[in-house]
Structure 1
Amino acid sequence: MGTTRDGQVLVVTGTGTEIGKTVTTAAIAAVAVRAGRSVAVLKPAQTGVAPDEPGDVDEVVRLAGDAVTPLELGRFPEPLAPGTAAARAGLAPVRPAQVAEAAEKLAASHDLVLVEGAGGLLVHLDAEGATLADAARLLGAPVLVVAQAGLGTLNSVQLTAEALRARGLGQAGVVIGSWPRQPGLAERCNVADLPVVAGAGLLGAIPAGAGELAVAGFRTSAGGWLGPELGGVWDGAEFARGVA
C-alpha cells in the first residue's frame, strides 16, 4: 500500500458499479480493525443517495465497526457519474486535490486509509474530466481493483490495468467482489485468467451476499476472504485448486 508520512493509503476502485466494491472495502477495514490498526474510509463522491440516507461510508462502518472513521467529501442525489451529478445539482464537484488532501490528513492519525471511488477508475469527478486515477497519482497510492466474477470481467480488468499502467500507477491486485455460491464455467476459468490479464495478483474473493451477514459474522469471516497482502489468510492457490 502507499505510505504517506504517517499511515498507509489504498485506493479502491471497480470495473463498474454494483460489483461489491463497498463490501470489499468493509472487509479490508474489518480485518485491519481486528488486527488493532486504526482505519479511516474516505468516499470522495457519493451519488444516488438523498441527504438523510446512509451512504457507502455508513455501510462500511456498519459492517466493519464504529472504530472506523468515515468521511464523505461530496454527495449528489442523482445516480450518475459524480461530475454529471454535481453539475445537474448545481453543486461544486469534488476535485482530485481535495481527495488527496483529505486522505493525507486522515493518514496523519490513522494506520490505514481506504479511498473508495464511485464506479470505475476513469469516471469523471468534474466537468474537466478529472478522475480517481488523478487522486491516486497525487497520493502516490496503489489501486486495488474490485471485479466481477463472470463473463466479461477479463476485458474490464485488462482495460483498467492498462489505464493504471499508462498513468504510472501501481495496481495492488484484484479482488472478486461477489463470488457466487455455484460458480459456472466462466467464473471458474476466470480465477486463473484474472491475474494474467491484470498483471497483478488475485488477492481475494468475497462471497456473494457477504454484506447481508450479521455484522459479527462478517467481521470474524472477512479475513478468510482476503489474502495476506490485505491482512487476511485467504489462500489464492488453494482457492484456484478448489474451483478448477
Structure 2
Amino acid sequence: MGKGIFIIGTDTDVGKTFVTAGLIYKLKENGYNTIAFKPIQSGGILSADKKTLIPPDIKYIKEICDIEDEYSNMNTYCLKEEVSPHLAARIEDRNISKEKIINHYKSLLDNYDYVIVEGAGGIVVPLINNDYFIYDLIKDLNLDVLIVAKAGVGTINHTTLTAEFLKQKNIKSKGIVINQYNDKFYEKDNIKVISKLTKLDIVHKIKNIENPTVENIKSEYRDLDLEKILNLFN
C-alpha cells in the first residue's frame, strides 16, 4: 500500500503543478515508484486528433518526469472550460462523482509507492455544485497537505489564511514550498513572517526560472531535499 500527499496552493497559478512535478522527479530519480494524480482538471486542451481532451498539468508532469502512464491513469475528470471545476462541469453537463475520484486514488495506492495528488486552485474551490469543496476531498482521501506559496508581495496574507483555514478543517499541513523565489530582501522577510505565523516548516525555496528549459528545470528539481520529501509522507 502506497502513501499520498495533497498539494494545495494559496491561490491559482502559484506553481502547484511545477512543485508536484518536482517531487515526482526527485522521488523517481531515487528509485521510488511515484505517480501524479489530478482528480479534476479544467482548461483541458484538445489532443492532436481533436477527439479527446488532455489535462495540461498532467501533460507537463508526464513530459518532464518521463512518465509513460496514460492520461486516464493520472486524471479522473478533464473539463474544457478554464474556470472553477464546479462551473465547468455545469457548463458541460458533466456529473462529478466523488466516489469515482476516491476509488481512483485508492487504486493508485495499490500500485505505487507514492501518489502526489494535485488540487485545483486554492483550498476553498468548489468541485461539485456549491456543496463539495477541495477541502472536503482532502478529508475524504484522508490526506495531509503541502502548501505551495509564492515568494512575493501578498504571500503572507494568502499563506497564513490558507494555513489557518486548514487548521479549522482539521487538515494537517506538513509544510510549505516557496515558489518563484528571487532572493529579494522582502521575500526573505516574507518567509520569516510566514514561518513564525504558521509554525510550519519551509520545505524548500524554488528559484524563479526566467527562461525555463527542460534542463534548468530538472536542475532545480535535483536540488530538492529527498529526506524532507520522504518526511511529508510520515
Question: How many angstroms apart in 1 are the aligned matches of 2:220 and 2:160?
Answer: 29
Question: How many angstroms apart in 2 are the aligned matches of 1:120 and 1:105?
Answer: 25
Residue 140 of structure 2 is aligned to residue 141 of structure 1: no
After the TM superposition, which residues 75-94 of structure 1 pair with which residues of structure 2 at under 5 Å, given as runs?
Answer: 75-94=78-97
Aligned-partner residue type, residue 58 of structure 2: V
Residue 93 of structure 2 is aligned to residue 98 of structure 1: no
**Relative to 1, partners in 2 of residues 1:13 and 1:228: Cα closer, same or farther, differing over 3 Å?**
same
Q: TM-score under structure 1 normalisation?
A: 0.83
1:59-96 deviations in whole A, cap 9, x for unaligned?
Answer: 1111122267751111111111100111011111253x
How far apart are residue 187 of structure 1 and its match? 0.9
1:121 counterpart SS class? coil
Q: Is the 8 A contact 1:7 1:111 kept in 2?
A: yes
Residue 107 of structure 2 is aligned to residue 127 of structure 1: no
1:99-155 deviations in whole A, cap 9, x for unaligned?
Answer: 322111101110000110111011000103312221221222110110011111111
* Residue of structure 1 equivalent to 2:7: 12
Question: How many angstroms apart in 2 are the aligned matches of 1:40 and 1:16?
Answer: 23
**What is the aligned length?**
223
* Residue of structure 2 equivalent to 1:173: 175
How far apart are residue 54 of structure 1 and its match? 5.1
Aligned-partner residue type, residue 42 of structure 1: F
Q: Is the 8 A contact 2:146 2:175 kept in 1?
A: yes
1:119 counterpart SS class? coil
* Residue of structure 2 equivalent to 1:214: 214
Alignment identity in percent?
24
Which of 75, 83, 93 is matched with 1:72 structurally?
75
Q: Is the 8 A contact 1:157 1:197 kept in 2?
A: no
**Relative to 1, partners in 2 of residues 1:86 and 1:171: Cα closer, same or farther, differing over 3 Å?**
same
Question: How many angstroms apart in 1 are the aligned matches of 2:68 and 2:220?
Answer: 18
Instruction: Out of 114-123 and 129-138, give the one that drifted further.
Output: 129-138
Residue 194 of structure 2 is aligned to residue 194 of structure 1: yes
Which of 20, 23, 26 is matched with 2:18 structurally?
23
1:120 counterpart SS class? coil
Q: Is the 8 A contact 2:166 2:172 kept in 1?
A: yes
Question: How many angstroms apart in 2 are the aligned matches of 1:211 and 1:84?
Answer: 34
* Residue of structure 2 equivalent to 1:235: none
Question: How many angstroms apart in 1 are the aligned matches of 2:157 and 2:59?
Answer: 31
RMSD value over aligned CA atoms? 2.2
Question: How many angstroms apart in 1 are the aligned matches of 2:94 and 2:46?
Answer: 13
Question: How many angstroms apart in 2 are the aligned matches of 1:10 and 1:31?
Answer: 15
Which of 156, 165, 168 is matched with 1:154 structurally?
156
**Relative to 1, partners in 2 of residues 1:111 and 1:227: Cα closer, same or farther, differing over 3 Å?**
closer
Residue 223 of structure 2 is aligned to residue 224 of structure 1: yes
Q: TM-score under structure 2 normalisation?
A: 0.87
2:126 counterpart SS class? coil
Question: How many angstroms apart in 2 are the aligned matches of 1:225 and 1:137?
Answer: 27
Question: How many angstroms apart in 1 are the aligned matches of 2:209 and 2:5?
Answer: 24
Q: Is the 8 A contact 1:161 1:199 kept in 2?
A: no
Question: How many angstroms apart in 2 are the aligned matches of 1:221 and 1:15?
Answer: 22
Give unmatched runs, 5+ long, in structure 2.
48-53
Aligned-partner residue type, residue 77 of structure 2: G
